[in-house]
């Protein structure tokens, strides 16, 4: 019994570390999915005026996340079609840690 107790105590830190990594990986996966959703949302727009900065707060698997979308340039009056740079960053609101980021160019056909 004593040997089994020692073996169980030696394995316990490994199990705890595995659980922490599992939670961390789930948060990273949720953040990546949120960033991709924001990129796809903005890429579905064809009008330059519809491509706007935004902030979205969600809780995914118990982790509070904030996705911030920034637009790199303003819409010109003429010269369409153009590409508009857009960046999305996802942070944990409880710790402030940056979990994911993505950038893209959006093709706008008109104002």
Strands 54-60 and 63-71: antiparallel
CATH number at residue 97: 3.30.1300
Phi first, then psi: what are they for 62, rounded to 5°?
80, 5
Show the domain range for 79: 2-108
**Gap between the Cα atoms of 25 and 9, Å rounded:** 25
User: How many CA within 13 A on the CB side of residue 44?
Assistant: 6
Handedness of CA 20, 21, 25, 26 (dihedral sign): negative
56's tokens: 């979205």
**Gap between the Cα atoms of 89 and 82, Å rounded:** 23
Which segment of 3-7, 39-43, 98-102 scores lowest on mean pLDDT? 3-7
Strands 98-108 and 54-60: unpaired
pTM of the model: 0.81
Total domains present in the chain:
1
pLDDT (mean) for 13-30 = 90
pLDDT digits (tens, 9 = 90+) for 53-85: 999 999 988 899 999 999 998 888 888 999 999
């Amino acid at each position: 019994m004593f040997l089994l107790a020692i073996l169980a105590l030696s394995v316990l830190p490994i199990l705890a570390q595995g659980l922490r990594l599992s939670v961390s990986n789930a948060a990273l996966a949720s953040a990546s999915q949120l960033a991709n959703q924001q990129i796809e949302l903005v890429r579905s727009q064809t009008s330059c005026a519809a491509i706007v900065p935004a902030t979205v707060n969600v809780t995914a698997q118990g982790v509070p996340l904030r996705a911030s979308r920034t637009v790199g340039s303003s819409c010109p009056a003429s010269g369409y079609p153009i590409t508009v740079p857009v960046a999305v960053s996802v942070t944990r609101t409880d710790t402030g840690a940056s979990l994911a980021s993505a950038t893209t160019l959006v093709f706008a056909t008109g104002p």
